[in-house]
C-alpha cells in the first residue's frame, strides 16, 4: 500500500509518501480501506518526538479515519466488505474494570490509533479491532466523518462527562477555531450553555458564532481576562474549556466563578503552569484533566451528528501525498475546524 511515514523525528519534511507493508489482520480485526483521515496536533507531536516517549519507527500517523471495510477477521460477525464506516480511535484491553464499566479511556493499556505505537490512517489501509468500528450515517461524506471522532469525543468527555455542563451556565471555550474548540462550541450549546468563544482573528470568531457561540473575544486584540469579567458582570465563568496550557492556563484560574470547573486536554503553549491555590479553595473550584473519551460517548455523538445537532467542520482537504503541507498549515494555525487527507 501507499502511506505517509516518518523514519526519523523532525519537521514536516521528514514525512515520506512511499510504499509500506499491507496490514495483516488478526481474527478479531477489520481491514479498512481509508478514504479520509483528519489531522490532529498529536500527529505533529509524534513527528517531532516527545521526551520520554519512544515511538517505533517508521511510523504512520492518523487518528481519525473513515472508509470502507476491505476485509474482516475470521471471528468478526457484524461487518461486511464494502460497508462504509468510521473508526473509534481508542484501543483498550476490554477486560479491566474501567473497560467493563464503560470508561475504556481510563484503561492502563489505552492506545490511540496512529498515536505512539499503533500505525494509523495516513495510508491506503489500516487495521483495527471490530469493536472500534461504527457505521457511517446515511449520506455522510468520508471527509465529514473523519472530522468527528477525536475532537468531538474529547470535547464531549470534557464538557458532558467531567465538567457536567448545565443549562444556563457560562462556558469559556479557548481556541474556538481549532478542531476540538469548534466541537466544544456546539456541544456546550447543545446542553443549553451560554458560550463565550475565544480566537485570534475576527474571521474565526465569526465562524464560531455561526456554530452557536453567543459572545466572542479576540485575544490578539482584546484583554482576555477583562473581557470575561465584563461579559459575566465580574462573576466569572462556570466552565473553562482549555487546551492551550502554559502562561494562558495561569491567567484563566481567576476567571472561574464560585464552584467553577476548568477542564483541560492539551498544552500546545507549554506543559508547565503555576496556579495560585487560593483561587481554588476560596472559590471551591476544580481543575479536571481529560484524555479522549469512551466508545459509548462516540455512539452518542454520532447520533447527534445524524440528527443534525452537531456538525463536523472541515476547513480544507488535501491529497494524502500532501500530508506535510497539511501539517504545516495546522502548525501555522491557518485553519478553522479540521484539515483532512483523502486517498
CATH of the domain at 161: 3.90.180.10
Number of other CB atoms surrounding residue 278 within 10 Å: 10
pLDDT at 319: 98
- Per-residue pLDDT reduced to its tens digit, 297-308: 999 999 999 999
Q: Grid coordinates standing for 106?
A: 481510563
Residue 305: inside a domain, yes or no? Answer: no
Residues 31 and 94 in one domain: yes
Residue 320: inside a domain, yes or no? Answer: yes
Residues 251 and 282 in one domain: yes
Residues 194 and 253 in one domain: yes
In contact, 208 and 219? CB cutoff 8 Å = no
Domain that holds residue 80: 2-148+312-342
Residues 144 and 156 in one domain: no
**How many domains is the chain built from?**
2
Residues 182 and 267 in one domain: yes
Residue 259: inside a domain, yes or no? Answer: yes
In contact, 178 and 38? CB cutoff 8 Å = no
Residue 84: inside a domain, yes or no? Answer: yes
pLDDT at 58: 98
Residues 144 and 10 in one domain: yes
From the number of C-beta atoms within 10 Å of its C-beta (0-12, 13-18, 19+), residue 93 rates as middle
Q: Give the span between the Cα atoms of 339 and 109, in whole angstroms.
A: 29
Residues of the chain under the 70 pLDDT cut: none
Residues 91 and 32 in one domain: yes
Closest CA to 136 of 125, 144, 124: 144
Residues 180 and 68 in one domain: no
CA distances from 58 to 122, 137, 193 (A): 12, 34, 44
Q: Give the span between the Cα atoms of 272 and 281, in whole angstroms.
A: 21
Assign 3-state DSSP to the chain and report helix, strand, coil percentages, each to 5: 30, 25, 40
pTM: 0.94
Residue 94: inside a domain, yes or no? Answer: yes
Amino acid at each position: 500500500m501507499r502511506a505517509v511515514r516518518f523514519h526519523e523525528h523532525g519537521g514536516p519534511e521528514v514525512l515520506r509518501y512511499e510504499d509500506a507493508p499491507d496490514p495483516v489482520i488478526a481474527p478479531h480485526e477489520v481491514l479498512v480501506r481509508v478514504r479520509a483521515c483528519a489531522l490532529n496536533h498529536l500527529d505533529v507531536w509524534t513527528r517531532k518526538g516527545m521526551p520520554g516517549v519512544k515511538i517505533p519507527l517508521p511510523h504512520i500517523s492518523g487518528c481519525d479515519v473513515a472508509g470502507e471495510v476491505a476485509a474482516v477477521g475470521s471471528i468478526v460477525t457484524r461487518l461486511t466488505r464494502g460497508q462504509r464506516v468510521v473508526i473509534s480511535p481508542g484501543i483498550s484491553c476490554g477486560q479491566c474494570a474501567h473497560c467493563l464499566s464503560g470508561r475504556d479511556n481510563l484503561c492502563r493499556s489505552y492506545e490511540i490509533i496512529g498515536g505512539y505505537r499503533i500505525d494509523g490512517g495516513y495510508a491506503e489501509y489500516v487495521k483495527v479491532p471490530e469493536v472500534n468500528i461504527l457505521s457511517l450515517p446515511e449520506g455522510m461524506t468520508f471527509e465529514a466523518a473523519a472530522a468527528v471522532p477525536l475532537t468531538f469525543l474529547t470535547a464531549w468527555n470534557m464538557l458532558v462527562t467531567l465538567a457536567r455542563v448545565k443549562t444556563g451556565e457560562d462556558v469559556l471555550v479557548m481556541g474556538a477555531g481549532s478542531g476540538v474548540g469548534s466541537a466544544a462550541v456546539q456541544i456546550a450549546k447543545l446542553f443549553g450553555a451560554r458560550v463565550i468563544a475565544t480566537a485570534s482573528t475576527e474571521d474565526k470568531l465569526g465562524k464560531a458564532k455561526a456554530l452557536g457561540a453567543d459572545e466572542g473575544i479576540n485575544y490578539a486584540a482584546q484583554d482576555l481576562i477583562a473581557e470575561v469579567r465584563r461579559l459575566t458582570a465580574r462573576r466569572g465563568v462556570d466552565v473553562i474549556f482549555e487546551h492551550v496550557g502554559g502562561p494562558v492556563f495561569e491567567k484563566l484560574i481567576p476567571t472561574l466563578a464560585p464552584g467553577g470547573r476548568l477542564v483541560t486536554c492539551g498544552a500546545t503553549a507549554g506543559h508547565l503552569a503555576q496556579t495560585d491555590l487560593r483561587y481554588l479553595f476560596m472559590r471551591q473550584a476544580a481543575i479536571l484533566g481529560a484524555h479522549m473519551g469512551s466508545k459509548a460517548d462516540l455512539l452518542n455523538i454520532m447520533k447527534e451528528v445524524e440528527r443534525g445537532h452537531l456538525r463536523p467542520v472541515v476547513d480544507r482537504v488535501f491529497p494524502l501525498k500532501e500530508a506535510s503541507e497539511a501539517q504545516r498549515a495546522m502548525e501555522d494555525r491557518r485553519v478553522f475546524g479540521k484539515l483532512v487527507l483523502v486517498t
